[in-house]
Amino acid sequence: MSLEQDTKEKYYDRIDIAQLAVSVLVFFLSLIWIGLVGLAAFGEVSMAYGDSLAIEPGMLINLMLTGLVFLAITLVSIVTTIQKITGNAKTINRSGGKVLFWATAGLVLVFGLAALACLASPEIKSIALAILAVLGIAIPVFMLLRVGARYQKSPNPKRDSGILTFSIGISTPFILLMEVLVIIFLLIVFVSGLYGKPEFMDLFNNILNNPAALQNDPTSLFSEFENIINLPDLMGWLLLVVAGIMPLVEELFKTLGVWLLKVRNPNPAESFRIGLLSGGGFALFEGLLSVNSLQLNSLGFAEWAGLILGRFGGSLLHILAGGIVGLAIGKLWQDRKLISLLLSYLAAWLLHAAWNALAIFGGINPLISEANVLAVWSYIGLVLLIFGMLLAFFGLIRKAQIASAFPLYPTRLEG
């Protein structure tokens, strides 16, 4: 082996060291997550003999499996990074279309088992649907990422797992923190604007003076909730937050990993791939945790399948938006045209805003109107948007490959 070959094999830089440090951190955080869920499950067994409200087993299982998924991703990142740093990096050959075939077959099996699980007792159904929901959400994410890498020369588990780890453990929690701070600020502004209005003061005094009545009377609670929904400015504020500010915050910070890898000189196809992975990490985090908001033991198969299909749309949205911005960042480094990057951020934000707005109208309309016409049209709009995003996704893959045909500078993005 020549000296040049030996140097290349054992090359590593500060990005590799940073990846190892972040991966170890997220690995231990995932272990803590799993440990806390285990303690909660143990506490649940103890409470089952008392009068305390029991936590649904499906929720605990979902949280446990989510932690295990994160743990597995970070473990791959740690192992492959150590291999590269020590000069023992291994080359992985492509497996053709076998991965996509088996993933598709796995999804069909997941839906079939979910249909059978809905015939079982509520306890068994809750546990089975929780396990199958994790598979039903995670498999499409990895399928989309696999399709997005169709022009990649060879698999790169170190880079892929590293970006996913950074997204799950760093950028996504940072985004959630930013969103919480923004929501708190807007809530203060909103309540300050309502303070002094007769309808708001009456509602506030009603809740303040009769908290026990509201808790013991669900019908009264729902009536008060309807009053809140019908407050004049609430819908506008809800749209501003969920369909305006939240998508803006997410699209601005979701692709932090692309910017951090500038030192590796990625070409547009590589930065596109990193953007997809950044969106995929966010989609995994959001999708897997969204299951915990549901009472799985009371869901039918149609509701469960609707949840999984809806999460597919959400995952596609995050991955596509990450790819749009990632490709634009790579082209910025290639041709130095800032306007293309700004337009790509705008496109990702508008796409995300449209999805969230349709979801809001579909979810809120049944609460404010007995006629569900608007909700039906909202769901039709979401389905059409999914098909449009799929077309854009495949078109963007080809565009990224064309943009990288003649890079203006050498690239060294080995890992």
Angle at 49 between CA 44 and CA 55, to 5 degrees: 30
Provide the pLDDT for residue 230: 54
Print the domain residue range for 189: 92-195+233-403
Residue that is written with structure tokens 């929901």 in the block = 133
| Residue 99, number of CB atoms within 10 A of its CB | 14
pLDDT in tens, 203-246: 667 666 766 655 556 566 556 555 555 555 667 777 888 889 99
- Residue 67 forms part of a structural domain: no
The arithmetic mean of pLDDT across residues 240-266, rounded, is: 91
Dist CA 84 CA 56 (whole Å): 43
The string of DSSP codes covering 349-384 is: HHHHHHHHHHHHHHHHHHHH-S--HHHHHHHHHHHH
User: Residue 314 above 60 pLDDT?
Assistant: yes
User: Residue 6 above 90 pLDDT?
Assistant: no
Dist CA 74 CA 212 (whole Å): 46
pLDDT in tens, 149-186: 876 666 788 999 999 999 999 999 999 999 999 989 98
- Residue 39 forms part of a structural domain: no
- Residue 19 forms part of a structural domain: no
- Residue 53 forms part of a structural domain: no
Provide the pLDDT for residue 400: 85
Contact 375, 365 (CB under 8 A): yes
Go through 345-370 and write b for each residue having 16 or more CB atoms within 10 A of its CB, e for each that does not: bebbbebbbbbbbbbbbbebbeeeee
Total count of domains within the chain: 1
- Residue 303 forms part of a structural domain: yes
Provide the pLDDT for residue 415: 52
- Residue 229: which residues within 8 A CB-CB, separation 6 or more? 235, 364, 367, 368
Provide the pLDDT for residue 399: 87
% of the chain at pLDDT higher than 70: 74
User: Residue 368 above 90 pLDDT?
Assistant: no
Q: Write the burial class of residue 218 (CB in 10 Å: 0-12 exposed, 13-18 middle, 19+ buried).
A: exposed
- Residue 122 forms part of a structural domain: yes
The arithmetic mean of pLDDT across residues 111-123, rounded, is: 90
- Residue 251 forms part of a structural domain: yes
| Residue 206, number of CB atoms within 10 A of its CB | 15
- Residue 259 forms part of a structural domain: yes
Dist CA 272 CA 327 (whole Å): 4
* Confidence band of 4 (pLDDT split at 50, 70, 90): very low
Q: Write the burial class of residue 134 (CB in 10 Å: 0-12 exposed, 13-18 middle, 19+ buried).
A: buried
Query: Which tokens sit at 13?
Result: 């830089």
Q: Give the lowest-confidence range in 125-134, 296-305, 367-376.
A: 367-376
Provide the pLDDT for residue 58: 77
User: Residue 57 above 90 pLDDT?
Assistant: no
Average pLDDT, the chain: 82
